[in-house]
Amino acid sequence: MPQAALVAGRAAIYVDGAKKFVGDSISYTTDDTKREDSVGKSGVAGFTEEPVAPKVSVELIDLSDQQIDELNSVRNATIVLELLNGAVHYTYPNAWRNGDPIEKNENARATVEFHSKTCKKTKG
């Protein structure tokens, strides 16, 4: 079952091996299946599983050295979440930006979502 969380921590986004962005206000899932109730005329029959991509959503701020708009074309990034003061890391390799084109709010912030085929957990 997917694990989802809204956490305080940092997410680093690497593009072509170079750290390009660091963001906060993170939400993420680590598993690759979603369960749904299977209900028939006689009641609940169990559940079905559907494959889903692990994902991470992070709020970024547009600064002179990190232009958020650059992420619209990203198809192969590595996202590293650092949680619990660096005690736990989640890595999303070969991640792609998902969703509509990025829109910044009045504070030059934008929420960007990335999906990956896998998510690897490591301890810091």
Q: Are 93 and 120 in contact (CB under 8 A)?
A: yes
Take residue 71 and report the two structure tokens written for it.
Answer: 């992420």
Instruction: Please check whether the domain covering 4-34+48-123 is classified as CATH 3.40.50.
Output: no
> Would you state the pLDDT for residue 5?
43
Q: Are 58 and 112 in contact (CB under 8 A)?
A: yes
Q: Are 121 and 88 in contact (CB under 8 A)?
A: yes
Distance CA 22, CA 43 (A): 47
The number of angstroms, rounded, from the C-alpha of 25 to the middle of its chain's C-alpha atoms is 11
> Would you state the pLDDT for residue 3?
43
Domain boundaries, the chain: 4-34+48-123
Number of residues that make up the chain:
124
Return per-residue pLDDT of the chain as tens, 124 residues. Answer: 344 444 557 788 888 788 888 887 888 888 878 889 999 999 999 999 999 899 999 888 776 666 788 888 888 989 988 887 777 889 999 999 998 888 888 888 888 999 999 999 887 6
> Would you state the pLDDT for residue 124?
63
